[in-house]
Structure 1
Amino acid sequence: MPIFEYKALTSSGKTKKGIVDANTARDARSKLRSDHMHVTEMWEVADKKSRKDQSVSKKTRSLTAKKGKPGGLLSMEIELFRPKISTRDLATFTRQFSTLLRSGIQLTDALNALVEQCVDPHLERVLRNVKEEITSGNNLAEAMAKHPRFFSDLYVNMVRAGEASGHLDVVLTRIADYLQKQASLKGKVLAAITYPAIMVIVGLAVVIFLMSYVVPRITQILKDRGQPLPFITEVLMTASDFTKAYWIYVLLAMVIGGFFLKSLIGTDAGRLKFDSMLLRLPIFGTLFSKQAISRFALTFSTLLKSGLPALDSLKIVALVVNNAKLTQVINNIHARIIEGADIATPIRKSKVFPPMVGYMVSVGEQSGQLEEILDRIAESYEEELDLTIQRLTSMIEPIIIILLAVVVGFIIAAVLLPLLDFSTM
C-alpha cells in the first residue's frame, strides 16, 4: 500500500506533518479529514521529485493567474461575466472567516457558517463552490484561485502562504486589514474627485438649459424689436444658435472621443502614457501619486509579513498598484534585484518614488525591518493624502463657484443689458 507524507492544519489551526497509508491520495485525504485535519500538501514518499514539481507548478500557476483543471477554461469564461464583490464586502467576509478559524472551528464548518449568513447570492455561490473543492481534496488557495473575479492573485497567494505556515487565521486578518485600508484609500480619492465633478456637471447642465431654452426665447424678442444689441448679447446669441443647431454633433463628437480614449487606454503604450500623465497633472497629480505610493508600500508590506519572498511579492504588487507607470517601475526593480541589486537602489533612481521612500527602504533592508518601514511609509503617505484632499477640496470649491458665477453672470448680463436699454427708451 502506498505511503503518503502530508502537511495539514488541525482544527486549532496548527500545522501538523506526518505519514498515512492509503490506496490513493484521495483516500489519504479522506482519512485525514475524518481526523478533523485540513490537508495543505500531500505527496507519495517515494515521489519527492513530483512533490517539488507540483509545488513549482502551483506557484507559477498562481503568479500567472492560470487556474486549476476542474471546470478549467469554461468556469473561467463564465466567471468573467459574473459581478465582482466590493472591496469592503470582501474585507468583511475575510474578517468573519478569520474570526471563525481563530475560534477553533474547522475550515469546512467555517465556510458552511459563512454560506448560511451570506446575503450576496454571487458570493454565496462562490463559497459553496470553494467548499465543494475543499471537500474533493483541493486546498483553500486552489479553490479560491478558480474565482479570480472575487479572489485576486494577492488574496490567493497570501492564503497559500497562510496555509503553508499554519497561521491561516492570522493571514486572513492581515488580508482583511489590507482590504479595509484599500477601500478607505479609494473612497478618499473618489470623494475628492466626486464633489468637484458634481458641481461642474450641475453647472454645465444649468448653462446648457439656459443656452438651449431660455436664451433663444429672450433673444428672439430682442431681434423682433429691431434695435442694435450690445456686443456681449451678440456673442451670446451666436453661441446659443450654435448650441441649438449643432448640439447633436457636439454630443456625438464627445461620445466618439470617449470611445477613442478608451480604446487608446486599452493598449499597453496608451495606458502607460495616460497613467504617466495622471501623475503629472497640476492639481490631481499629487493626489494620484500619493495614493499609488501608499498602495505600493501597504501591499508590499502585507505580502512580506505573510511569508512571501520579496521577488514574488513584487510581481504581485506590480499587478495591483493600478498604475501602468508605477507597474513599469516595479518590474524594473524586480529585474534589478535579480541582477543582484538591493530593493532601495532602483527605487531611489526611479523618478516616480520620492527620495525619502528610497532612503527609508534602505534603512529597512539594513536593519531587517523592511515590513515595519513599509508600514510607516504607507501610513505617512495616507496622512499626506488626507491633507492633500482637504487642501484640494478647500481650493477647488471656490474656483469652481467663481467660474460658474462668471459664466452664468455673463449670460444674465447679456440678456439684461438690452432689456434695460429698451426699458429706458
Structure 2
Amino acid sequence: MPRFRYQAYGADGAFAEGTIEAASAAAADAALWAQGLSPFQMRSLDGGGTQWWNREIAFGGGSARGDLLAFTREFSTLCSADIPMDDALRIVQAQTAAARLKTLVEALLAEVLNGRPLSEAMQGQSRIFPADYVAVVRAGESGGRLAQVLSELAELLERRAEIVARIQSALIYPAMLIVLSLVTLAIIIGGVIPSMAPIFTQSGKPVPLTIQAMLALKAHWLEILIASAAALALLGAAIAFAMTDAQRRQRLDRLVLRLPLLGSFLLQQDTARFARTLGTMLLAGVPLIAATRSASEVVGNRHLRAGLDQAIEAVQQGTALHRSLREAVSLPAVALQMIAVGEEAGKLDRMLVRVAEMLEKQLQTRVDRFMAALTPAMTVGIAVIIGALIMPVMTAVLSINDLAGR
C-alpha cells in the first residue's frame, strides 16, 4: 500500500508530522481528519505523488492554474446567486468550452451527488486544487460561508494572474528588440562582412581586426555555440547541485535578498503573497496557526520561509503574530506596522489583505518604471553595438575609395 508523509495540525493548533499508509492521497487525508488532525501537506513516499503547491505566483501551474481560476470565478458567481451547489456545477459544466475544465467539473459533480462534501471532492483533484485551497473551502463549508469564501479565492487568484500577465506584457517589447537585434547582427556577420572582405584582399590592404573577428565568428559559430551550451549546462548543474542542499539554498536565498533593487523587489513580492494568502484564509475562518503555516508555503525564498517557521513556533507559544514576525523575519517595516495595528484592533484578516494590495501596487509601479527605463536603454545599447560593428567597416571601405581616387 502506498505510503505518504504528512504535515498537519491538531484541534489545539499543535503541529504534527509523520507517515501513513493509504490507498490514495485522498484516503490518507480522510484518515487523518478522522484522527482529529487537519493535514495541510501530503507527499507520496513511493514516487507516485504530485507536488501540490507550485510557488510561481499562483496556485498550480500552467493549464491547471487557468482551470482553477476559471472554475473558481464561475462557480463563486453562481453560488453567490443562491443557486444549489449541484445545479451550479451543472451550469459551469455546460457553459465551459475547455475539455479539461469540463472533465474536472464532471468529477466534482459526481462526488457531490454521491454525498461527499465539496472540499472532499476537491481533494481527489489534487493536481488542480492545492491543499490550502481545499482548507479554505472546508472552512467556508463549516461556517456556512462557501459563496463568500469562493469569491475571496477568486479574487486572490485573479490578482496573482493579473500580476503575472502585466509582467509578461511588459516584457514583450524588450524581447522583440532583442530578437530583432540578433537578426540584424546575424545579417551583418553572415552576409555583409563576408561580401566586403574581398575588397581589402584585392586592394592589398590588411583586413581590419573588427572584420577579422567577425569572419572568425562566422567560420567557427558552431564551436562557439557548443562551448556556450556546455558552459550553460555546467552552470545549471552547479546551481541544481547547490539547490539540493537546504542549507546552501537558504544561504543563497539570504544573499539574494541583499542584492540592490532585486532583493527588495523579491522581498516585497513574497511578503505580498504571504499577506494575501494568510488574509484570505483567515477571512474564511481557518485558524491562525494553520493559516500561517499554509501561507508560508507560498513564500519562494527559503531564508524568509525559515524565519516564518520560527515566527509560527513563537505564535504557538502565545506570542502575538506581529511581534514574532518582527523578531524572526525581515519583512518590510510598513507591512509589520500594519499587521500590528490590525492584530491589536481585531481586524488582522482585513489588514493583511490591505497590506497585500499596497505591496502589489508598489510592485507594479516598480515594474512599470523599470520597463519604461529598460526599453530606451536597450534601444540605445543595440544601436551602439550595431554602430560599433558598422563604423570600422565603413571607415575601411572609405579609405580604399580614397586610395583608388588618388
Summarize the Cα distance change of 1:220–1:138 in structure 2 as closer, same or farther, 3 Å threshold: farther
- CA apart distance, 1:105: 2.5
1:222 aligns with 2:200: yes
Q: Tell me the distance in 2 between the aligned counterparts of 1:114 and 1:411.
A: 59
- CA apart distance, 1:232: 4.1
Q: Which runs of 5+ in 1 are unaligned?
A: 1-49, 68-72
- CA apart distance, 1:125: 1.6
Query: Residue 361 of structure 1 is aligned with which of 339, 351, 362?
Result: 339
Q: Aligned letter for 2:106?
A: R
1:56 aligns with 2:33: no
Answer whether contact 2:52 2:130 (CA < 8 A) is retained.
no
Q: 1:22-60, CA deviations, whole angstroms, 9 ceiling, x for partnerless residues? A: xxxxxxxxxxxxxxxxxxxxxxxxxxxx99961624x12
Q: Tell me the distance in 2 between the aligned counterparts of 1:52 and 1:249.
A: 53
Query: Residue 185 of structure 1 is aligned with which of 158, 163, 167?
Result: 163
Question: SS of 1:101's equivalent?
Answer: helix
Answer whether contact 1:212 1:244 (CA < 8 A) is retained.
no
Aligned partner of 1:381 in structure 2 is 359
1:370 aligns with 2:348: yes
Question: SS of 2:297's equivalent?
Answer: helix
Aligned partner of 1:120 in structure 2 is 98
Aligned ranges for residues 154-193 of structure 1 at < 5 Å? 154-193=132-171
Q: Tell me the distance in 1 between the aligned counterparts of 2:188 and 2:393.
A: 11
Q: Tell me the distance in 2 between the aligned counterparts of 1:333 and 1:185.
A: 28
Aligned partner of 1:391 in structure 2 is 369
Aligned partner of 2:82 in structure 1 is 104
Summarize the Cα distance change of 1:183–1:292 in structure 2 as closer, same or farther, 3 Å threshold: same
- CA apart distance, 1:74: 11
1:200 aligns with 2:178: yes
- CA apart distance, 1:211: 2.8
Answer whether contact 1:230 1:417 (CA < 8 A) is retained.
no
Answer whether contact 1:279 1:286 (CA < 8 A) is retained.
yes
- CA apart distance, 1:253: 3.2
Q: Aligned letter for 1:137?
A: G
Q: Which runs of 5+ in 2 are unaligned?
A: 1-29, 54-59
Q: 1:225-255, CA deviations, whole angstroms, 9 ceiling, x for partnerless residues? A: 4312445445545555554653333234334
Q: Tell me the distance in 1 between the aligned counterparts of 2:140 and 2:258.
A: 39
Question: SS of 1:304's equivalent?
Answer: helix
Summarize the Cα distance change of 1:159–1:55 in structure 2 as closer, same or farther, 3 Å threshold: farther
Answer whether contact 2:308 2:328 (CA < 8 A) is retained.
no
Aligned partner of 1:338 in structure 2 is 316
Q: Aligned letter for 2:306?
A: Q
Residue correspondences, number = 368
- CA apart distance, 1:169: 0.8
Query: Residue 131 of structure 1 is aligned with which of 95, 105, 109?
Result: 109
Question: SS of 1:147's equivalent?
Answer: coil
- CA apart distance, 1:180: 0.8
Aligned partner of 2:272 in structure 1 is 294
Q: Tell me the distance in 2 between the aligned counterparts of 1:129 and 1:84.
A: 20
Answer whether contact 1:84 1:149 (CA < 8 A) is retained.
no
- CA apart distance, 1:281: 4.4
Aligned partner of 2:291 in structure 1 is 313
Aligned partner of 2:8 in structure 1 is none
Aligned partner of 1:9 in structure 2 is none
Q: Tell me the distance in 1 between the aligned counterparts of 2:328 and 2:179.
A: 38
Q: Tell me the distance in 1 between the aligned counterparts of 2:400 and 2:321.
A: 76
Question: SS of 1:64's equivalent?
Answer: strand
- Report the more deviating stretch, 328-337 or 258-267: 258-267
Aligned partner of 2:18 in structure 1 is none
Q: Aligned letter for 2:36?
A: V
Question: SS of 1:150's equivalent?
Answer: coil
- CA apart distance, 1:112: 1.8
Q: Aligned letter for 1:246?
A: I
Summarize the Cα distance change of 1:338–1:237 in structure 2 as closer, same or farther, 3 Å threshold: same
Answer whether contact 2:43 2:49 (CA < 8 A) is retained.
no
Q: Tell me the distance in 1 between the aligned counterparts of 2:168 and 2:267.
A: 14
Q: Tell me the distance in 2 between the aligned counterparts of 1:157 and 1:328.
A: 22
Answer whether contact 1:185 1:291 (CA < 8 A) is retained.
no
1:403 aligns with 2:399: no
Summarize the Cα distance change of 1:74–1:146 in structure 2 as closer, same or farther, 3 Å threshold: farther
Summarize the Cα distance change of 1:74–1:296 in structure 2 as closer, same or farther, 3 Å threshold: closer
- CA apart distance, 1:268: 3.9
Answer whether contact 1:304 1:313 (CA < 8 A) is retained.
yes
Q: Tell me the distance in 2 between the aligned counterparts of 1:221 and 1:292.
A: 59
- CA apart distance, 1:388: 0.7
Identity of aligned residues (%): 26
Q: Tell me the distance in 1 between the aligned counterparts of 2:166 and 2:245.
A: 28
